[in-house]
Amino acid sequence: MKMIIAIVKPEKFSEVKNALTDSGIEGMTVTEVKGFGKQGGHKEIFRGTEYKIDLLNKVKIEICVEDSEAENVINTVLNSAKTGKAGEIGDGKIFVIDVEKSVTIRTGETN
Ligand SMILES: Nc1ncnc2c1ncn2[C@@H]1O[C@H](COP(=O)(O)OP(=O)(O)OP(=O)(O)O)[C@@H](O)[C@H]1O
Ligand SMILES: [Mg+2]
């Protein structure tokens, strides 16, 4: 199994959520987070001589799926989270982690 962690723009979250639920995933965890990327949280590529790091609001989505589904999930996030606006930065990141085990608490069922 893989855990796909996607950090997206808040204004893109409902589009990403709808695309993911339409693709048939069986669950997700969503957290409101703050973060910065390569531009130190600046919203534009050129912003004078300001070196201060800003933390921007983002939404973190965690989805655990079978290995065979991971590429589908990644592509679904890519296609729905991208703003496509010229010069727009900060569309987000996707991290993929190997998951050793999952347990359903109600039934004790694993994976
Ligand atoms: N190296 C990192 N480690 C952990 N979280 C990160 C890292 N880079 C980015 N993030 C998270 O992803 C969010 C979105 O990052 P962002 O889209 O700005 O990445 P970027 O690599 O700077 O890409 P872009 O050039 O489009 O801005 C950040 O606010 C932060 O929460
Ligand atoms: Mg950035």
What domains can you pick out in the chain, each with its CATH number? 2-98 (3.30.70.120)
Nearest CA to 8 out of 53, 51, 63, 47 is that of 63
Question: Which ligand places an atom closest to the C-alpha of 58?
Answer: 1
Q: List the structure tokens of 81.
A: 């989270």
89 within 8 A of 36, measured Cβ to Cβ: no
Distance CA 93, CA 32 (A): 15
**CB-count burial class (<10 Å; 0-12, 13-18, 19+) for 40:** middle
Q: Among the bound ligands, name the one nearest to the CA of residue 54.
A: 1
The binding-site residues of ligand 1, defined as CB within 6 angstroms of any ligand atom, are: 7, 35-39, 56, 58, 89-93
Instruction: Show pLDDT as tens, one digit a residue, over the chain (111 residues).
Output: 999 999 999 999 999 999 999 998 999 999 999 999 988 877 766 555 556 788 999 999 999 999 999 999 999 999 999 998 877 889 999 999 999 999 999 999 999
